[in-house]
Amino acid sequence: MIDALTVLALILVLAHFSFPLAYYHYLKKKWLNKPWDVRRDPRYKPRVSIIVPTYNEVEFIRKKLNDIYVQDYPRGLIEVIIADSGSEDGTLEAVKEWMLDHTDLNLKLMVDPGRKGKLYALLKALNYISPDSEIVVFTDADAFWEPSALSKMVSYFVDPNVGSVTACIYYTDVDIHEEAYRNYYNVVRVAESKIYATPVHNGPFLAIRADLLMKHGLPDFPGSDDSSFGSFIAFIGYRAIQVDDIVVKEPIRGSQVRRRIRRAYHLIINFMTTKKYAKRRGVYKYNSAFERIWRIEWWLHIVNPWLLLISVTLLVLSAVSGSLIALALIGAGSALLVLNIYRVWILQQVYLIVAMLRSSWTKEVMWRR
Ligand code: GDP
Ligand code: MN
């Protein structure tokens, strides 16, 4: 006989998996390959400010500056601001040396004495952009651009509805976990962008219309980071899109588990706070297309992981009290962990739950690599 606990567990686990799968397939079939309804023009060449936050980046900073230097964009229209938080590994010396060899690129160096986190540095750097700059690009020191990255990125801003643009990120190293995660993630983000906007942006490369920044600022609440810039831009009434025609590559470095927990943590903070924040600031504008996307993503991040946890708990309880079916289901669910995509999904649910618990007692701003 199948007991009530097991039935309930089955219902929850089905709900947990079927909803995101259905959303993914709907986006992939219906939206992913649609043409963009965004006006683009390669002749649009506004002045741009590129902000690069750095903390101990001596290994990558020269390559980063070279990547910017060889962009197929008029060099005179580019300004670069390095926002450093007291690097101790020679990053500053490397930048200064590079500047001497490349005097035709406008580069400013902003140095904070102490480390107050990436977001703090990014927001502070906004005070240094020149007033006639039309687009602000935020990009990590370890994110490498193809030479056309900037010009492609800028061309999307011809459309006055576009408030921010982010790129898909690819990895220079092979990591099957990261690949499975990105495959799912990129399909969803790009397809949502074609509908209207996506609620999560990619810190390694994202650009925002400067006048929006100047007028409305950016999310600066505790625990927030650049991934929530997308939601904020969408909540103030502009399209926040992830495009698929720019190649940005990032090396995988440091502890991946720590990185994934941090990523989950910022996702949780974004879905719990950004909408309230926009409303509190009085800049919130209702948009039905984005509200639908937001509600689904909110559910997937904040509620859906718990369905899995509750379901597993019920199955364990039921197995302990003698249900063979529950035991078999636990066995089958565990066996599936050999499948990479399934394992990545389950781990992501664990990270989200850990992040949610963690966010309820601490708001972190700084992370070890
Ligand atoms: P990950 O790619 O998310 O794992 O994070 P990274 O360690 O690559 O950091 C992303 C970017 O933020 C890099 O350019 C770092 O140098 C920079 N960064 C990280 N922490 C700080 C900080 O405290 N201050 C500043 N100014 N930059 C930081
Ligand atoms: Mn990085």
pLDDT value of position 361:
79
Quick one: which atom of ligand 1 is closest to the CA of 54?
16
Residue 237: closest CA among 316, 161, 315, 348: 161
Q: Tell me the one-letter amino acid at 7.
A: V
Q: CA–CA separation, 197 vs 329, rounded Å?
A: 38
Is the confidence at residue 366, as pLDDT, over 80? no
The Å distance, Cα 67 to ligand 1 centre, comes to 18
Give yes or no for a contact between 242 and 168, defined as CB atoms under 8 angstroms apart.
yes
The Å distance, Cα 369 to ligand 2 centre, comes to 9
Q: CA–CA separation, 153 vs 176, rounded Å?
A: 28
Quick one: which atom of ligand 1 is closest to the CA of 117?
23
Q: CA–CA separation, 263 vs 351, rounded Å?
A: 9
pLDDT value of position 131:
96
Q: CA–CA separation, 355 vs 168, rounded Å?
A: 24
Ligand 1: list residues with CB < 6 Å: 53-55, 57, 83-85, 115, 117-118, 121, 140-142, 259, 366, 369
Whole-model pTM: value is: 0.95
Q: What are the phi and psi torsion angles at 145 (to 5°)?
A: -105, 145
Name the closest-CA residue to atom 5, ligand 1.
369
The Å distance, Cα 119 to ligand 2 centre, comes to 14
Ligand nearest to the CA of 56: 1
Domain ranges of the chain: 4-27+303-359, 48-293
Ligand nearest to the CA of 117: 1
Name the closest-CA residue to atom 15, ligand 1.
54
Question: Does domain 48-293 correspond to CATH entry 3.90.180.10?
Answer: no
List residues bridging with 215 in a β-sheet: none
Ligand nearest to the CA of 250: 2
Furthest-apart CA pair in the chain: how many Å?
79
The Å distance, Cα 254 to ligand 2 centre, comes to 9
pLDDT per residue as tens digits for the range 52-70 = 999 999 999 999 999 999 9
Quick one: which atom of ligand 1 is closest to the CA of 57?
16
Mean pLDDT (whole number) for 159-188: 92
Pairing outcome for strands 135-139 and 205-209: antiparallel
Mean per-residue pLDDT of the chain: 95
DSSP alpha helix (H) spans, the chain: 4-26, 61-69, 91-101, 118-125, 149-155, 176-195, 210-216, 229-235, 256-280, 288-298, 304-320, 324-335, 340-359
pLDDT band at 351 (very low <50, low <70, confident <90, very high): very high
Percent of the chain whose predicted confidence (pLDDT) is above 90 = 87
The Å distance, Cα 83 to ligand 1 centre, comes to 10
Q: CA–CA separation, 16 vs 170, rounded Å?
A: 28
Ligand nearest to the CA of 139: 1
Quick one: which atom of ligand 1 is closest to the CA of 115?
23
The Å distance, Cα 56 to ligand 1 centre, comes to 9
Pairing outcome for strands 48-54 and 78-84: parallel
Give yes or no for a contact between 139 and 50, defined as CB atoms under 8 angstroms apart.
yes
What is the arrangement of strands in the sheet containing 239-250, beginning at the earlier edge strand? Answer: 106-111, 78-84, 48-54, 135-139, 205-209, 162-171, 239-250, 144-145
Which residues, 6+ apart, have CB-to-CB distance to 332 below 8 Å?
none
Name the closest-CA residue to atom 10, ligand 1.
140
DSSP per-residue codes, 39-106:
---TT----EEEEEEESS-TTTHHHHHHHHHT-SS-GGGEEEEEEES--SSSHHHHHHHHHHH-TTSE
Residue 80 in tokens:
């670069």
The Å distance, Cα 61 to ligand 2 centre, comes to 12
Give yes or no for a contact between 149 and 246, defined as CB atoms under 8 angstroms apart.
yes
pLDDT per residue as tens digits for the range 220-235 = 988 889 999 999 999 9
Task: Please give the residue that has the higher pLDDT: either 359 or 301.
Answer: 301
Ligand nearest to the CA of 86: 1
Protein residues with C-beta less than 5 angstroms from the ion ligand 2: 140, 142
pLDDT per residue as tens digits for the range 113-151 = 889 999 999 999 999 999 999 999 999 999 999 999 999
Give yes or no for a contact between 202 and 166, defined as CB atoms under 8 angstroms apart.
yes
Q: What are the phi and psi torsion angles at 94 (to 5°)?
A: -60, -40
